[in-house]
């Protein structure tokens, strides 16, 4: 059988990794795919730089659209990143009847609904394992491996940069700014780290996983997103004292209507989270990623590995290439749907606003060191229907008349905590804003 012809758009870190993996493991990949997979053309904005990577024998073209629409090309691998140009090229490839493999999470989170609809109409595949958690095969697990399950929730450490920063803060006692600088020095954080440290990258990935897990359209714009830039070394230390660790988690959970007035829906949220130190996710360190999925039949399953990098992500891209090659001539009706559920069976289950989320909370406040302050705070929480699970009150620093009070609450609605925080911060004894971090057991 003749080789399948592939166009590679983008020769950055992952593009280079893809070429190396395809070359090094060519025999093994061919045996799995049933035919040879050949990169026949390369599209790159910087032709000279790309040619150094691919060598003299492989055609390199700065006209990306010409590469994508070449009639000889059967699969387009999009690895240029960004959204505007990537969307234009991917839709052009689909319109030309090409299958697409992409690792572009922002593209899919923002425009996946349009892209998948176009692919469905044209009868081609869009594969995207590399878009979430690097080399961890979480997309395939959700789409196929767990297909017998009604997924109850997903909780994941899905951004290696933020996880490295939090691990560094815990291990060394460093401030957030110092840990970020170290991540940048080591190449784990970009010069502009906003997408990573503010949770946007994780929200892109969570939106994709949630759509597959719950059979809903992509809804990134409804995700609640909160990053780690406001966390302090004090919070890391106090969490440890209470038996917890802080991780930036992406959490998506199916919620049924309940007695406390919550409607049914899907939680879709990214934020710093206290996790009991004994839990597996709490012990994922450095730049590693991990995703915990709870299915009704299988129970909790954990997927762990390198969440980024040239060859880990290339591993996922090549796996997609093999899948597309195997199914290249298959009847489109017999392929696994892009979002696991048949397109006409997607649900309109709403995404719940963060005010309707129910979880436990870590609350920290600096107050005047005088009698009755703790009683005032606990009375406000009680009035809001919030019960307290644990309290730490620190000794005042020498020469000051202020102390930190740290509380862990039992589970309650976010809107109740919002109302209580407003009242607590209005106390004359309150010397700071309340730091609020959500707590999840993930049992």
Q: How far apart (Å, rounded) are the C-alpha atoms in residues 230 and 222?
A: 22
Q: How far apart (Å, rounded) are the C-alpha atoms in residues 365 and 424?
A: 9
DSSP secondary structure of 275-344: EETTSTGGG--TTEEEEEEEETTTEEEEEEEE-SSHHHHHHHHHHHHHHHHHHTTS-GGGSPPTTSS-GG
Half-sphere exposure of 68 (CA within 13 A, CB side): 26
Q: How far is CA 287 from the centre of its chain?
A: 13
In terms of Cα–Cα distance, which of 133, 79, 126 is closest to 99?
126
H or E element, residue 47: helix 47-54
Are residues 94 and 119 in contact, defined by beta-carbon separation less than 8 angstroms?
yes
Q: How far apart (Å, rounded) are the C-alpha atoms in residues 107 and 116?
A: 12
Query: Residue 440, Cβ neighbours under 10 Å: how many?
Result: 22
| φ, ψ of residue 298 in degrees (nearest 5) | -90, -20
In terms of Cα–Cα distance, which of 125, 131, 116, 103 is closest to 346?
116
Q: How far apart (Å, rounded) are the C-alpha atoms in residues 442 and 247?
A: 13
Catalytic residues: 205
Residue 330 pairs with which residues in a beta bridge? Answer: none
Q: How far is CA 320 from the centre of its chain?
A: 19
């Amino acid at each position: 059988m003749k080789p399948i012809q592939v166009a590679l758009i983008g020769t950055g870190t992952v593009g280079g990794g893809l070429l190396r993996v395809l070359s090094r493991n060519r025999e093994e990949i061919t045996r799995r795919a049933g035919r040879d997979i050949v990169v026949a053309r390369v599209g790159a904005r910087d032709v000279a730089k790309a040619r150094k990577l691919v060598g003299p024998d492989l055609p390199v073209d700065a006209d990306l659209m010409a590469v994508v629409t070449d009639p000889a090309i059967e699969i387009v691998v999009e690895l240029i990143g960004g959204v505007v140009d990537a969307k234009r090229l991917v839709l052009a490839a689909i319109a030309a009847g090409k299958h697409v493999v992409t690792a572009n999470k922002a593209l899919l989170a923002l425009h996946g609904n349009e892209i998948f609809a176009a692919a469905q109409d044209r009868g081609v595949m869009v594969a995207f394992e590399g878009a979430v958690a690097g080399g961890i095969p979480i997309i395939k697990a959700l789409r196929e491996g767990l297909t017998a399950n009604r997924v109850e929730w997903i909780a994941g450490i899905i951004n290696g940069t933020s996880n490295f920063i939090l691990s560094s803060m815990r291990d060394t006692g460093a401030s957030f700014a110092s840990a970020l600088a170290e991540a940048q020095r080591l190449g784990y954080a970009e010069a502009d780290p906003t997408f990573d440290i503010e949770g946007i990258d994780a929200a892109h990935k969570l939106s994709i996983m949630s759509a597959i897990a719950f059979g809903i359209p992509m809804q990134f714009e409804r995700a609640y997103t909160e990053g780690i830039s406001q966390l302090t070394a004090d919070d890391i230390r106090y969490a440890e004292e209470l038996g917890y660790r802080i991780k930036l988690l992406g959490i998506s959970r199916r919620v049924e209507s309940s007695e406390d007035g919550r409607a049914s829906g899907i939680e879709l949220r990214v934020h710093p989270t206290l996790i009991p130190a004994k839990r597996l996710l709490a012990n994922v360190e450095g730049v590693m990623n991990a995703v915990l999925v709870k299915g009704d039949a299988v129970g909790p399953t954990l997927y762990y590995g390198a969440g980024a990098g040239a060859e880990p992500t290339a591993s996922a891209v090549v796996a997609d290439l093999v899948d597309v090659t195997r199914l290249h001539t298959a009847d489109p009706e017999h392929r696994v749907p892009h979002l696991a559920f048949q397109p006409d069976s997607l649900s309109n289950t709403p995404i719940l606003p963060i005010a309707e989320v129910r979880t436990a909370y870590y609350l920290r406040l600096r107050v005047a060191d005088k009698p009755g302050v703790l009683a005032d705070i606990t009375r406000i929480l009680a009035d809001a229907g919030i019960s307290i699970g644990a309290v730490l009150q620190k000794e005042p620093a020498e020469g000051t008349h202020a102390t930190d009070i740290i509380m862990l609450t039992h589970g309650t609605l976010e809107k109740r905590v919002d109302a209580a925080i407003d009242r607590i911060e209005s106390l004359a004894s309150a010397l700071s804003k309340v730091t609020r971090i959500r707590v999840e057991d993930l049992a």
